[in-house]
Amino acid sequence: MAYRSSGAGYADVAAHFRAKIEDGGLSPGDSLPSVDEIREQFGVSAKTVSRALKLLKDEGLAGSRGSLGTVVTERPRVAPASGTARVERTRRGGPNYASGETSTGHTAALLSCADPGLCRDLDIDPHDEVIIRKRVFRVDGKPMTIGLEIIHPRALAVVADLLKQGPRGPDHWFNEYTEKTGKQVSGSPEMRIARHASRDELEDLEVPVPDADVAVPVMVTRTTWHDEDGPLEVMEDIHAPGVWHNAR
C-alpha cells in the first residue's frame, strides 16, 4: 500500500527509508525504489526525492551504484543508539540490533539500590532491591555502548526471566509486560549528560587509561519508563568516548 501523507517533505521521505534500513527491511546492497516510484509512493516532487536521497547518502546509509540506482551501503554507519531508540525499533517490528551490531557481556542481578536518584526515579525506598541488567553493544566487534536497565522489582512478577543470564530474546521485555498486563509503557523525554567514566565502564568499553588519575568523559543517555501504576525502569546508555560526537 502506498504511503500517503499530505505535505510530506524530504525529511519525511528520508526518515521512512532510514527506519527501513535500521529495522532490517532494507539490507546492505538492496536497491531503493526509483525516483518515480518514490514520487508516486509519497506524492512528492522529484526535487523532494533528490533531497531525501542526498540526505541518506550524506548519512552514509546509501550510495549511487550505476544501473542499480541508489542502494543501501555495504556498511551503513551506525550511530550509538539509545535505549529509547531500541525500544521503539522493536515496537515497529524491527530487530533489537542495527546492521553490524552485536552485544556481549550480558548480566542480570538482583541488588540493593542505595543511589538516592535512582530510588527517587523508581519510587522505592533506599536499599530496596532492583533488577539490574547490563550488556555491551558492539559495532563490527568494537565496544560502543554499555546498556543498563535498572528495573522496579514489581516487574519480576510479570516477566519471570528478567534475571536470566545472557540474551533474553529479540524483543524488549516491555512487549511481554504489555501483552500480559494490558498496560502501556511510555518513556520520559530522553536526557543526555556528560560525566567521567568509572574504571569498570572503561574496562567494558576497552578504553586504555595509562594514568589512574586521568578522567575520561563519556556521554550518557537516560530515560525513565512508566506504566499507569508508576515508574517501571530507568534505562541508561553509556557511550564510548568520542562515539557520540563522531556520529553527529
Tell whether 123 and 185 lie within a shared domain: yes
Tell whether 48 and 105 lie within a shared domain: no
Q: What is the mean pLDDT of residues 104-119?
A: 95
Query: Which of 27, 46, 72 marks a domain boundary?
Result: 72
CA separation for the pair 86, 67 (Å, rounded): 34
CA separation for the pair 96, 175 (Å, rounded): 12
Tell whether 136 and 237 lie within a shared domain: yes
Element (H, E) at 181: helix 173-181
Tell whether 130 and 164 lie within a shared domain: yes
Least confident of 34-43, 49-58, 67-76, 180-189: 67-76
Tell whether 130 and 236 lie within a shared domain: yes
Whether 2 maps to a domain, the answer reads: no
Q: What is the mean pLDDT of residues 96-101?
A: 76
Least confident of 31-40, 115-124, 208-217: 208-217
Whether 3 maps to a domain, the answer reads: no
Tell whether 143 and 29 lie within a shared domain: no
Query: Which of 72, 102, 122 marks a domain boundary?
Result: 72
CB-based contacts of 149: which residues, under 8 Å, 6+ apart? 83, 131, 132, 133, 134, 233, 234, 235
Tell whether 181 and 99 lie within a shared domain: yes
Tell whether 138 and 31 lie within a shared domain: no
Please identify which residue in the block is written with the cell numbers 512478577.
Answer: 157
As a whole number, the mean pLDDT across the chain is 86
Tell whether 204 and 104 lie within a shared domain: yes
Task: Check which CATH number belongs to the domain holding 120 and give it.
Answer: 3.40.1410.10
**52-91 pLDDT, tens per residue?**
998 888 878 899 888 888 999 875 455 556 788 888 877 7
Tell whether 170 and 239 lie within a shared domain: yes
Tell whether 155 and 34 lie within a shared domain: no
Whether 1 maps to a domain, the answer reads: no
Count: domains in the chain: 2
Please, is 153 exposed, middle or buried when counting C-beta atoms within 10 Å of its C-beta (0-12, 13-18, 19+)?
Answer: middle
Return the DSSP state at 140. T
Tell whether 171 and 241 lie within a shared domain: yes
Whether 130 maps to a domain, the answer reads: yes
Task: Check which CATH number belongs to the domain holding 28 and give it.
Answer: 1.10.10.10
Residue 177 phi/psi, 5-degree rounding, is: -60, -45
SS3 54: helix
